[in-house]
Amino acid sequence: MKNDETLAWTGPVPTTVIETQPFWNACNKGQFLVQRCSDCGKVQYHYRAFCCHCWSDAVEDLPIQGTGKVWTYSVVKVNRSPQFSEWGVYATGVIEVPEGVKIIARITADDLERVRIGASVRLAFAKAPNGQQVPFFTVAEEA
């Protein structure tokens, strides 16, 4: 997926632990991983060491295509949390991806009026101060 060099990540920096390290390593390579369980066949996100459906530890990485649709969203006009102070007005929402899961993420657009339920989005990454690539979604260009 694309690294969005125009967006430096100014929000909270992700904390990595042994369990989620493969996810964050993949982000640094431009991939966003969800997981598929080899036992029950279901797909899951958030990244974890076991299946949230059947508790099996037979989960396999599944890179997403990087496209999706806005399932729901909110435009935040006032956020008093210091870690989001530089964002100003921003959108966050739930993205439904073809792989069968929903992902909570920041959504960007050249005009936040373009963020709508059903809008097509694509995956992008922004660089955090520690060098970690952080995923977000941006409204796709009109066809």
Q: With 50 as the cut, is the pLDDT of residue 143 above it?
A: no
Distance of CA 56 to the CA centre of its chain: 24
Give mean pLDDT, residues 49-69: 97
pTM, two decimals, is 0.91
Give the whole-angstrom CA distance, residue 21 versus residue 3. Answer: 19
Domain boundaries, the chain: 2-139
Are the CB atoms for 137 and 121 separated by under 8 Å? Answer: yes
pLDDT of residue 6: 54
